[in-house]
A and B are shown apart, each in its own frame.
Chain A
Amino acid sequence: MTAPTPPRPPASGPPSGPPSGPPPGTPPLAGFTPPPAPTGRPVWPPPEATVVTTGVSKSFGSLVAVSEMSFAVGPGVTALLGPNGAGKSTLIRLLCGLTAPSTGEILVAGGNPRFDREARRRLGLVPQQDGVFERERALEVVKLAATLSGLPDPEEQARVALNTVELDPDMKRPVGTFSKGMRQRVKIAQAIVHNPAVLVLDEPLNGLDPRQRRQMIALFHQLGNEGRTVLVSSHVLEEVERFGSHVLVIAKGRLAAQGDFHAIRDLMDDQPLRIRVHCQRPRVVASTLLQGGSVSGVAVTGEDEIEVTTTEVRTFRRAVAVACQVNGARLEEVVPLDDDLESVFRYLVGMGP
């Protein structure tokens, strides 16, 4: 469970700014930087920050999707973590100018992307939705993005971007015939083709297989290490662990916490975590896992599926690989179940575990 550690974004310290974050009474978290509080210090926004929100709220009628959010992030990979419905996608839409905030101010790459074309020129977005131009070839989609970004040789740049995400630029098939993983890579290619200073990705690993996920995470780290701000949203804690050490935790439309990932990881270690394992010979593997003591509970939930409960994730990961190996069972997939995140998020927003 070790993850590459990208350079820590410079804005991870406690910036001053308008009130934001968890409601009064939220327990402080060890290792976590609380969201900015009004201290009166004139350091907002931090000079290195490339993405800054100041008191941003967004309401849809009576529904408050994002509430009084203030944070600043700089170069490197920052994960935006929150359960489904927490307000991550709305926040991403706000950051990219796709919708206007009800109150507050957003600065991305020095401008408001909703109206500032130069800010949009320095911004790349991988939206969550599956749809890409179905009837076009991948090269055409990415070439269009390059052309609209004003690049001098759009086709060449499009080929480079497609090669970066391991797609063949000369593929004749239209995007509509692509698998979900291939579409996802087309979306990433169109977002990076113009070398943006700020790259925003909404659940970019959806639909990718484990090898592609590793490759994409390595790409995000590479982009972050090159000095870009890479903001990646996810509702899967295990993914976020691999994105990087800096996280923004969103819950119920509020910035619940921001700071080092390992603090949330430690918090998770105290929580029982449910994990689904897809493998051959699930009964035998389940029995071996129980005997090994790395799990506190196990249930065979399908022909090739077991579900375990554990508080020792790192130990379990090693144990499940060994259990499959000694029983001659092929290990297909290990999936942490989202429900377990909810307890952490509830804790972060002060509702108790």
Chain B
Amino acid sequence: MREIVALYRLLVRQQLTIGRLVLTGAFTGLAILVVVVIARAEDAVTQVESTVNFISVFGLGLMVPILSLVLASSSLGHLVEDETLVYLWIRPNPRWMLAFAAWLASASVAVPVATMPLMVAAAIGTGGDGQATFAVALSMALAAMAYTAIFTLLGLLIRRSLIWGLVYLFIWEFFVARVGQGAARLSINTYPASVLAELTEFELPLAERSLTNGIVVPIVVSVVAVALTGWRLNRANVA
């Protein structure tokens, strides 16, 4: 256990750079600013729906995946690129431990960083609607969990994972997934969006799954991605 804690502490510290903190602050500020504008511009009836729509598009579609990518792709990716992975890899610990600690380090930053400001925005935009605020928190947390797991794996698998991650997000998640049902099933975004839609009872883009699927699939994706990361670490050629 203390090995995981030691790895976790190192990897969290490695991730928290000034650039990433600035990006986080920018997303947070923008989310709250737009919701405040919506709250002032619209009447009470449309304000809640507009807020949930904005959070779905901006939060789920942009903020959470990009924050998750920026944090998680560097979790192991940075160690690969600066050739420090060897110091952790050579130790007598099971490799799943390193994979899990890397994901945990990204998720434990991405989940609150993505969830808290959007919860605040939801609370402002919905006039303190508890159900909507909870829906936002749950869907953002699920999305951040799944995305960080996938991007932790991506960071290990390929160099320049930040760029390739952006390519994946913009081509698959933002474009292809919105074209057809089949593609949507293979999009992470569709599952937390479905949770948000089910719990707020608004129609949202990509929200075509059940509440159960919306909760279970991101968790399964996270577990599988972390397991694959550990498996890949076991077979990695370490510089």
Contacts and interface: CB of A to CB of B under 8 A. Distances in A.
Interface in A116-150: 117-118, 120-121, 123, 125, 127, 129, 131-136, 140-141, 143-145, 147-150
A123 B7 CA distance: 20
Given A144-B6, A148-B6, A129 B239 contact: yes
Given A147-B2, A147-B6, A120 B90 contact: yes
A229 B40 CA distance: 73
Interface in A197-229: none
Interface residues of B, number: 23
B28 to A, nearest CB: 24
B84 A133 contact: yes
Interface stretch (B69-77, B91-99, B160-168): B91-99
A210 to B, nearest CB: 27
A149 B93 CA distance: 8
Interface string B113-134: 0000000000000000000000
Contact of A120 (B6, B91, B238): B91
Contacts of B237: 98-100
A149 B10 CA distance: 15
B14 A135 contact: yes
A98 B6 CA distance: 22
A131 B92 contact: no
Given A129-B239, A131-B82, A148-B6, A136 B13 contact: yes
Given A99-B237, A120-B92, A135-B13, A148 B86 contact: no
Interface string B11-28: 001100000000000000
A16 interface: no
Nearest to A89: B239
A136 B86 contact: no
B201 interface: no
A131 B85 CA distance: 10
A135 B90 CA distance: 20
A26 to B, nearest CB: 31
B84 to A, nearest CB: 5
Nearest to B16: A135
B90 A96 contact: yes
Interface in B38-96: 82-84, 86-94
B18 to A, nearest CB: 11
Nearest to A146: B6
B3 A133 contact: no
A296 to B, nearest CB: 42
B6 A123 contact: no
A172 to B, nearest CB: 15
Interface of B: 2-3, 6-7, 10, 13-14, 82-84, 86-94, 234, 237-239
Closest 3 A/B residue pairs (Cβ): A148-B91, A121-B92, A117-B92
20 contacts: A93-B238, A98-B89, A98-B90, A98-B237, A98-B239, A100-B237, A117-B94, A120-B90, A127-B86, A129-B239, A131-B83, A133-B84, A141-B87, A144-B87, A145-B87, A145-B91, A147-B2, A147-B3, A148-B7, A148-B88
Interface of A: 93, 96-100, 113, 115, 117-118, 120-121, 123, 125, 127, 129, 131-136, 140-141, 143-145, 147-150, 190
